[in-house]
Amino acid sequence: MTQDTLGLDATPIAMAHGANSRKVFIKTYGCQMNVYDSLRMSDALAKDGYVQTEDMGEADLVLLNTCHIREKAAEKVYSALGRLRDMKKLREEEGREFVIGVAGCVAQAEGEEILRRAPAVDVVIGPQTYHRLPQALARVRDGERVIETDYAVEDKFEHLPVAEKAKLRSRGVTAFLTVQEGCDKFCTFCVVPYTRGSEVSRPVSQILDEAMKLVDAGVREITLLGQNVNAWRSTGPKGEEWGLAELLYRLAEIPGLARLRYTTSHPRDMDDRLIEAHRELRALMPYLHLPVQAGSDRILKAMNRRHTGEEYLRLIERIRTARPDIAMSGDFIVGFPGETDQDFEDTLAIVEAVKYAQAFSFKYSTRPGTPGADLTDQVPEDVKAERLERLQARLLKQQNDFAQSLVGKTMDVLLEKPGRMPGQLIGRSPWLQSVNLDAKNMKIGDIIHVRITATGPNSLFAEVA
């Protein structure tokens, strides 16, 4: 069975392995934080004797690291588990071990329901208890079906090992680093506070230690992750309070770390000091993902966003004053309960005012357990579909216009991986776009000055300047 037979867009975690080791296949759904979590789980499992495989058919353990942010996410997981159940039955007939685990936000949200509906599942583990995974698997081998979805008292990051240098090096020259988890905002459409818990910030020392290990292994660019990453708060070395800006300034001092990014931000946590960091830190890339979700003040209030459309636009203006070359990215939800035609036009007006370089947009879907699920004034599906089509057409034009505006300009590109053609390498622009170029005398990890020559559907083309 190949990795694609489970369905859903997903990222497998894979490495070379020895012939006699236990093997694990991790399939990752959803956000960048899940990608990071999968890597940290694989590091914890390595200490337990597991190595990664990209061939699910040879795995002794299959972990689905799930996302619960979209409609029907849980049902898609159950569908995948049905196919894994059939694999497990064949393995049992052969007398071979085949452990099935569900991790991530669906695990946290569904919990006991997963064990009830999917008898083939051996372990269910939530985002706050990944460090307990080796112990949970030991209990599975003793015949238990294990569920670990409580909010751990201990700090999971203190117990999760960082991979050895060789393993980190194999992952490339860019890396994610989670600095903050959870959310206290309680937007009425969002399940995150119920699956990831309240806002928690990792301490400075932990973050710096992990960042320096990544850089020592060849990482040139780090993206800081958090459900509300700019809500990060901790204590500095002299006992003073640090916000995300102070952390970015300190990370920028690490020799060899050339680029910094962060995501995802909330407008209410975008303070003056962080805006100033965008002006002063050359390592901080001129690209900011700052979701607004809707343009109508009435809908923003119903969403519990606690800002208005005008306040959001004034914030964008302040950010662009500090960093004129910054490109904006955003999130949009269309068809929130009660959204009228005028409310939707207000969203289009925000889009026109900001001019996004990239954006993500979705139809509203109810998430069980959220306040939005109890609202009665639901927008018909055909209306949501028509509005989403109009919004996405507008956003796609802006994305294409931004890419086209770069043709003929020069910029620094970080070379990340080989391209499809001989001698071709793929890099990353300051604005997070893929850049294809002929770089026969260059190597991965180099930052080179290029001239953009053309645009493609999802990338740029360049020549060495």
Binding region: 31, 67, 105, 183, 187, 190
Distance CA 378, CA 363 (A): 12
CA dihedral over 315, 321, 323, 327, signed as positive or negative: positive
Distance CA 40, CA 26 (A): 11
8 Å CB contact between 22 and 61: yes
Distance CA 116, CA 329 (A): 40
Binding residues for [4Fe-4S] cluster: 31, 67, 105, 183, 187, 190
8 Å CB contact between 62 and 101: yes
Distance CA 43, CA 260 (A): 24
Exposure class string for 6-45: b at 16+ Cβ within 10 A, else e: bebebbbbbeebeeeebbbbbbbbbbebbbbbbbbbbbbb
Distance CA 13, CA 157 (A): 20
CA dihedral over 192, 198, 204, 209, signed as positive or negative: negative
Give the containing element (helix H, strand E) for 273: helix 272-280
Exposure class string for 107-120: b at 16+ Cβ within 10 A, else e: bbbbbeebbeebeb
According to DSSP, residue 436 is labeled: E
Give the containing element (helix H, strand E) for 393: helix 381-405
End-to-end Cα separation, the chain, in angstroms: 46
Distance CA 453, CA 450 (A): 9
- Length reported for the chain: 465
Distance CA 162, CA 214 (A): 9
